[in-house]
Amino acid sequence: MKKRLLTLLLALALAVSLALPAAAAQMPVEVSSALELAQAMAEPVPARGRFRSRAAAAEPTRVVAFAPALADGYGADRVLHLAAWQEYVLEFSDAAAAQRALARLRSDPDVTDCFLDEAVTADDTLAGLWDETASRSWGGHEMGLTTLRHQADVLLPAGRRATVAVIDTGAEVSHPLLAGRVSARSYDFADNTADVTDVNGHGTATAGLIADLTPDEVDVMVLRVYGDDNLSKPSRVLTALEYALENGATVVNMSIGWPNAIEKGYSFLNSVLAQAYAAGVVVVAAAGNLSRSNPTANADDVYPANQAQVLTVSAVDRSRTFDDTYSASGASVDLCAPGTGVAVAALSGGMTVRSGTSFAAPHVAAAAACVQLAQPGATAARAPDALRLCRGSWRARPRRSVRQRVSGAHAVLSRPVVSGAALCGHAGRGRLVARRAGLLHRGGTDARHDARHRRAGGACHPRAGRAAALGGGGQPENHRHAAVHGCGARRVVL
């Protein structure tokens, strides 16, 4: 009798030990920032009972959901809640339980978006965005960014600063191009540390390019989302984007992309992208490149390049021609910028030459930062328009195959440093005149510039209508050059 009673008591104790942690897991653990969320996800998930301790040591399977509130914990071992972004992270030791929870979440009318946080490789999201070519850098000079950097004290108002967040593989912060330019708020979301050391090289190239193309008043916030194993996850990119917005970034560069986006239906960044756009933050994304995972080089099939809230950038070569040897095109493309044969920072303090939309995007991010230095508080809607003010100063020269394959280009090549004559290049190559950059300070254009522009057959519209939305939903007024094709972009900026 005593033995039977003892057996019953042990069974009851075991049941309680298994049930109590499960019940506790239904109560979300509140975190107050993206950084706290990243740090919480790095902590081990509490085991439900003593017999689960070995399984709890492995990294959990995570499901991320966006909702004002969740009805329950969906059987998760732990639920993290970032109320500022209406984000829930559900952690499971059992992958099958995570899949069942994901199915239930997708049918919950209160859940606006949810996804399984699956690992991705650098090959999937980076390799298709760059390749090596034997040429020399030219983009900064052609856009006027080099001159602007060296004459910032004359051309830009004093005392202003801007921050560009670079979500990538990290950076070699000791590189000469980045020395003194990396923000103290840089962070590694792969290893949850302030050490953002790059072992891949891609992030060093993109961050170094932004630093090289902008004045010292622009800080580069390096956000590492790829580990030493060259793996990343959507949750890292999402948390890094949230962190960038929480910590004052006014421009975000994302030279990364998920291919097969139409089939996969990616949407894990959409909620935060919408809030970034509403807050006036300019998010720049690479259009993607021709690759095995994107054999048609279709920017509409790359995420987040296919989202309306981002500025999607494809690439032109040194002859200002859309480079169809690698660059993606499509209706999602907003701008083109130098991407072929760009000199970029390399690991171990050196330089190399690369090609890809990964390197076209930082040119636009750098230009957007300069616009925001000159126009503090420029919104995500206004800043792109400042990059498109001048129409027709140069015409894209598309290859015939591209003309046959792509339509809808608004091919205007201009210098998106500021606006007006300086932006369009009529102030002289390598020479920017502060008066002709005056649109950033007082509005209007230079009459001689307008006359010169009309003689060239172009049309400059500094007050042309704003696009109804980035990536679609209306076009700026007076599409005088809409018949010129090239990159599939509605506007092409060089």
Residue 9 class from Cβ within 10 Å (0-12 exposed, 13-18 middle, 19+ buried)? exposed
Nearest residue to 30 via CA among 78, 93, 98: 78
User: Is 446 designated active site?
Assistant: no
DSSP H helices, 75-168, are 95-106, 122-125, 139-143, 145-150, 152-155
User: Is 32 designated active site?
Assistant: no
The verdict on whether omega for the bond into residue 21 sits within 30 degrees of 0, i.e. cis, is no
Beta strands per DSSP E along 329-393: 335-338, 342-345, 351-355, 390-391
- Give the phi and the psi of residue 208 in degrees, each rounded to 5: -65, -35
Would you say 344 and 198 are in contact if contact means Cβ atoms under 8 Å apart?
Answer: no
**Annotated catalytic residue, options 358, 393, 414, 419:** 358
Residue 402 is inside which H or E element, if any? helix 400-405
**Annotated catalytic residue, options 81, 175, 202, 410:** 202
Residue 132 class from Cβ within 10 Å (0-12 exposed, 13-18 middle, 19+ buried)? exposed
Residue 314 bridge partners (DSSP):
336
Residue 307 tokens read as: 């989202």
User: Is 168 designated active site?
Assistant: yes
- Please report, for residues 99, 203, 363, the alpha-carbon distance to residue 253 in angstroms, rounded to integers and kept in the order given: 32, 10, 10
**Annotated catalytic residue, options 117, 168, 212, 317:** 168
Would you say 452 and 424 are in contact if contact means Cβ atoms under 8 Å apart?
Answer: no
- Residues noted as catalytic: 168, 202, 358
